[in-house]
Structure 1
């Protein structure tokens, strides 16, 4: 289930996602920093770098990445760009 918590701190968002073992989907690069450098133990992060795409094209791109890489999303930082996908283990 998608969830939006406007006004919540980044750490609160991480706690909410982790409580349910969810992968965090965001356009906020701070979460990549929290996951990789500060090692906050995020279950997984999908960072969307899709600014030039329409909302519909962005949704299609994310759906495609999820279907192709579903088994790698937990425990990874996944950076989705229009022409490529980068996966980095969080541990």
Structure 2
């Protein structure tokens, strides 16, 4: 009887110590840290022979608020099979 109480008490202390250790590690590792310096990259392009931008052609499908969803294909499913009445 005494060994069961001692085992439970040791387990409770070990669990409590584990919780305190996890909270301590979380607080220690989750502290404020300095923000990494931001680096900026610059890109250079070679001058092109034409100064105008290439023309953009519209796509076939566009989003129209009243036109429905034009991006989905039409459904072409076979009809449901029918059974003879009374036959399950």
- For Structure 1 versus Structure 2, the TM-score category normalised by the shorter chain is under 0.3
Higher relative contact order (CA 8 A, sep 6+): 1
What is the TM-score normalised by the length of structure 1? 0.20
What is the TM-score normalised by the length of structure 2? 0.20
**Of Structure 1 and Structure 2, which has the larger fraction of its residues in helix?**
1
Find the structure with the greater CA-based Rg: 2
